[in-house]
């Protein structure tokens, strides 16, 4: 990780591209984030990392260990705290108390966006996996219009449902990452970044924007 910042998804809109085409974009407010702590491989932690805090909050809303962390750093309490691994060279660029914004993001950059997908509860196979349902609603199809159908072998071996089959279950509410998202517009005065296309999470959800680990030119 060379650069990372926490932000909030504000929603989607559309803008006109440089060639007169209409682009769907997601508006993200990146930062401001505060560097709370640095961890070094030479220290007791044994690895290089940076802890970032986002969105100030009342002290009463944090537990005792969280309050102690911010008090030790001499910073105001924040609602969100994330840790990012860095190499030794990148670690030198951060200082405790440093405020990170959208300054390092420029038009044309590619970023990886991580967020928590929308939770849809317990859903069936049609909504969760895109099953088409019964082939027909007549000619002997009985109460199986939205069912998954048989999932195991009918023989004596192994006579069970294999692991990993697409079944009903918890849908969404998982950590998802969309790679190689193009930055099409930036408003540094308001820390707004316009990313092409959709990104994980609901409107108002907290996301992480990091420099892309690969670009479309190197993707295989």
Question: What whole-number percentage of the chain has pLDDT above 90?
Answer: 62
- List pLDDT tens digits, range 36-80: 999 988 888 899 999 999 999 999 999 999 999 999 989 999 999
| DSSP three-state, residue 129 | helix
Q: Are residues 17 and 37 in the same domain?
A: no
Q: Are residues 74 and 172 in the same domain?
A: no
- Spatial neighbors of 26 by CB under 8 A, at least 6 apart, are 9, 11, 12, 194, 195, 197, 198, 199
Q: Are residues 92 and 6 in the same domain?
A: no
- The answer to whether residue 16 is domain-embedded is yes
Q: Are residues 14 and 121 in the same domain?
A: yes
Q: Are residues 54 and 79 in the same domain?
A: yes
- List pLDDT tens digits, range 135-155: 777 777 777 788 887 777 767
Residue indicated by tokens 């190499």 = 87
Q: Are residues 86 and 50 in the same domain?
A: yes
User: What does the DSSP 8-state code read for residue 162?
Assistant: P
Q: How many domains does the chain have?
A: 2
- Domain endpoint, select from 80, 100, 120: 100
| DSSP three-state, residue 82 | strand
- The answer to whether residue 180 is domain-embedded is yes
Q: Are residues 187 and 79 in the same domain?
A: no
- The answer to whether residue 150 is domain-embedded is no
Torsion of CA 44, 47, 52, 58, to 10 degrees: -30
Residue 188: CATH number of its domain: 2.40.30.10
- The answer to whether residue 93 is domain-embedded is yes
In angstroms, the CA 73 to CA 39 distance is: 13
- Spatial neighbors of 218 by CB under 8 A, at least 6 apart, are none
Q: Which domain holds residue 16?
A: 1-30+105-132+166-220
In angstroms, the CA 132 to CA 56 distance is: 47
Q: Which two tokens stand for residue 12?
A: 């989607």
- Domain endpoint, select from 100, 121, 143: 100
Q: Which two tokens stand for residue 129?
A: 């996996």
The helix/strand count (H/E) of the chain reads as 3, 12
Residue 52: CATH number of its domain: 3.30.160.810
- List pLDDT tens digits, range 79-107: 999 999 988 888 888 888 899 999 989 99
Q: Are residues 41 and 14 in the same domain?
A: no
- The answer to whether residue 140 is domain-embedded is no
pTM for the model stands at: 0.83
In angstroms, the CA 7 to CA 122 distance is: 29
- The answer to whether residue 182 is domain-embedded is yes
């Amino acid at each position: 990780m060379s650069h990372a910042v926490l932000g909030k998804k504000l929603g989607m809109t559309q803008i006109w591209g440089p060639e007169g085409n209409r682009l769907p974009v997601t508006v993200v407010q990146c930062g401001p984030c505060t560097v709370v702590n640095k961890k070094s491989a030479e220290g007791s932690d044994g690895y290089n990392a940076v802890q970032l805090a986002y969105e100030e909050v009342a002290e009463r809303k944090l537990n005792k260990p969280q309050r102690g962390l911010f008090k030790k750093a001499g910073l105001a309490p924040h609602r969100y705290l994330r840790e990012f691994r860095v190499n030794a060279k990148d670690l030198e660029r951060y200082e405790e108390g440093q405020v990170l914004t959208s300054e390092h993001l420029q038009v044309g950059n590619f970023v990886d966006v991580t967020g928590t997908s929308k939770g849809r509860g317990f859903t069936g196979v049609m909504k969760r996996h895109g099953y088409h349902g019964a082939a027909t609603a007549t000619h002997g199809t009985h109460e199986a219009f939205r069912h998954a159908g048989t999932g195991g072998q009918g023989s004596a071996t192994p006579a069970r449902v294999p692991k990993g089959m697409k079944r009903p279950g918890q849908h969404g509410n998982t950590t998802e990452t969309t790679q190689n998202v193009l930055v099409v517009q930036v408003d540094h005065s308001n820390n707004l970044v316009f990313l092409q296309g959709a990104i994980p999470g609901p409107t108002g959800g907290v996301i992480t924007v990091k420099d892309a680990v690969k670009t479309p030119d190197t993707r295989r």
